[in-house]
Amino acid sequence: MSGAEHDIVLFGATGFTGGLTAEYLAGHAAAGTRIALAGRNRPKLEAVRARMGEIEGTYGDVPLLAADVEDPASLRAVAEAARVVISTVGPYIFYGEPLVAACAAAGTDYVDLTGEPEFVDLMWLRYHDQARRTGARLIHCCGFDSIPHDLGAFFTVQQLPVDVPLTVNGFVRTNAGMSGGTYHTAINAFGRLRQAAHNAQERRRLEPRPADRRVKGIVGRPHRDAVAGGWVVPLPTIDPQIVLRSARALPRYGPDFGYGHYLVQKRLATLAGLAGGAGAAIALAQLPPTRRLLLSLRSPGEGPSAEQREKSWFRVRFIGEGGGERIVTEVSGGDPGYGDTAKMLAESALCLVHDELPEASGQLTTAAAMGEPLLERLRRAGIAFRRVI
């Protein structure tokens, strides 16, 4: 797609996180990066473009492209005009597929910030093979789900011995609450557990696994961990799935790799409350009336103030072991739900446009597709990757 009209097209810029992504691109894209905005509401797109122009004058007249998830021809035109398409339009299981399909057909690179396992598995089943043929790189989970965990495990593995069995455990801690969009995504996912399980099973049946290496998830248990900084409980998000897919794709993870993923809280009672709340939400999400009630409690289009985002932080610690060595690493940053997610998403797109990367295509993880170049970009952008011990 080197002859494409635009380097990056951002679809969904009128949403809260989409707007933050547009502003980040305006302030941090290399000079000459050709950016366009796509969506169905031109007045709202013009407002986002005006904010971009206030940040960097040259982006005050970026092209605006008409695009709608219900108009496949408009999405096809967007994909054919771009080197990389960013999508911030979720929940992705309801609105994401048409744009993935357009990019897979056009051979255009695609990034999003989904954390929805069902959507990621379904897109692999339907478009991975086509993307491999056309040369498209389809990279999901380019926000807090799952870059700190995927690249954090990647960074940890680099510090460990080569060609020996390795074990890495990740421990997630943050003071940020769940965003409205993430809340809606979670409730809808709870109501679709059967469909998600079917897609995951079908993917496991069809997806090749390395014949000469073993990669496995670690089923942990609640316990207190001094290095993690509190009580920990297994966290069954999409993040460990992404880490394990990177491990299957990259031989550097060794002949036998295991990964465990945990949430950290200072108080055991807090973990118990979170588990109880999640269980109740899962039960209520099974019936349409109670699911609609849960969804009505929060709006997906709203976000916290700049002052609230400024106080938010995240920290993911990794304990890595192998070849007789034990190390501790850490990935940390600011607001995970919005500010740093927009940063990670934008830097992923800029990495695909500007950096020298491995030859690869199909559905990929951030570590497999971009690895060290993206990690270094994020370091320069203020997200810390460091060895603690």
SS3 246: helix
Q: CB within 8 A of 279, min separation 6: which ones?
A: none
Are 296 and 355 a contacting pair, CB within 8 Å? no
- Bond prior to 87 in cis (omega within 30° of 0): no
- Each residue's pLDDT tens digit in the chain (389 positions)? 558 999 999 999 999 899 999 999 999 999 999 999 999 999 999 999 999 999 999 999 999 999 999 999 999 999 999 999 999 998 999 999 999 999 999 999 999 999 999 999 999 999 999 999 999 999 999 999 999 999 999 999 999 999 999 999 999 999 987 767 778 888 988 999 999 999 999 999 999 999 999 999 998 999 999 999 999 999 999 999 999 999 999 999 999 999 999 999 999 888 888 888 889 999 999 999 999 999 988 877 666 778 888 899 999 999 999 999 999 999 999 999 899 999 999 999 999 999 999 999 999 999 999 999 999 999 999 999 999 99
Q: How far is CA 360 from CA 68, 71, 134, 289, in A?
A: 29, 29, 11, 44
pTM passes above 0.85: yes
**In the chain, which residues fall in CATH 3.40.50.720?**
6-144+339-383
Give the per-residue pLDDT at 301: 62
Q: Is 266 exposed, middle or buried (0-12, 13-18, 19+ CB in 10 A)?
A: exposed
Give the per-residue pLDDT at 255: 98
Are 284 and 290 a contacting pair, CB within 8 Å? yes
Which class would CATH give 147-333? alpha beta
Give the per-residue pLDDT at 302: 64
**In the chain, which residues fall in CATH 3.30.360?**
147-333
CA distance 145 to 141: 5
| Fold of domain 6-144+339-383 | Rossmann fold (3.40.50)
- Bond prior to 91 in cis (omega within 30° of 0): yes
Are 378 and 385 a contacting pair, CB within 8 Å? yes
